[in-house]
Amino acid sequence: MKVYAINGSPRKNKNTATLLQKALDGVKASEKDNEIETEIINLYDLNYTGCKSCFACKRLEGKSYGKCAVKDDIYEVLENLSQADGIIFGTPVYFGNITGQLQSFLERLLFPNFEYDKNYTSIAPKKMATAFIYTMNVSEEIMDIANYKLTFSKIESSIERIFTKPQIMYSNDTYQFDDYSKYKSDAFSEEAKAEHRKVQFPLDCQKAFEIGAILIK
């Protein structure tokens, strides 16, 4: 069995990557027979574009029907993910949305997997378990006022349609820099941020772990 975490942050050891690793730790902890392999894929290490609208994945009797035909760094990743038992997506929120890198990746992962029939039927070879972890600067309250969840729900519903309904978690008010005194950041209280980091982030890590622990039933 194999579970992948897809890191949509350019940073490999900050908020999003940390929570993804905790989720994979949870996956590992849940296994009874040492049979689940895990892997993090850092999207910013890879060279690729979003969907090019070539429609090779929809061409009748084409050799790429149902698969992405674009041969770049994620060609093999997409091939591997099609056989995954679980996928945990993680992203920082950029301008109220998932990162561009993750959006491009999801276009390539999701689009070939539904048919252009009346129901947009999913033809994904496997309906693996999924989860989505969002990290962001704003508080939970502002996230709600700014209606972030409405934006997020669009990609979540495509993931549900094609694979399975994702478990969701949000990590708010994240610590953005190692040393706030070195950056223009008077929009924030460093003290409040540090306190949140100390008290809330470990709870977020626990939540991510729990999401991983119940991913594969």
Ligand X SMILES: Cc1cc2nc3c(=O)[nH]c(=O)nc-3n(C[C@H](O)[C@H](O)[C@H](O)COP(=O)(O)O)c2cc1C
Using CB under 6 A, which residues numbered 43 to 102 contact ligand X? 92-96
Among 21, 135, 158, 164, binds ligand X (CB under 6 A): 135
197 sits near ligand X (criterion: CB under 6 A): no
Distance CA 116, CA 118 (A): 7
What would the x/- binding string for ligand X be over residues 166 to 185, using CB under 6 A?
--------x-x---------
Nearer residue to ligand X within complex by CB, 15 or 113: 15
In contact, 2 and 84? CB cutoff 8 Å = yes
- Least distance (Å) from ligand X to the CB of residue 8? 8
Nearer residue to ligand X within complex by CB, 95 or 116: 95
Residue-by-residue DSSP string for 133-197: EEE-SS-HHHHHHTTHHHHHHHHHHHHHHHS-PPEEEEE-S----S-GGGS--TTS-HHHHHHHH
> Strand, helix or coil at 80?
helix
Among 4, 5, 9, 112, binds ligand X (CB under 6 A): 9
Distance CA 29, CA 146 (A): 36
Residues at the interface with ligand X (CB under 6 A): 9, 11, 14-17, 92-96, 135-138, 174, 176
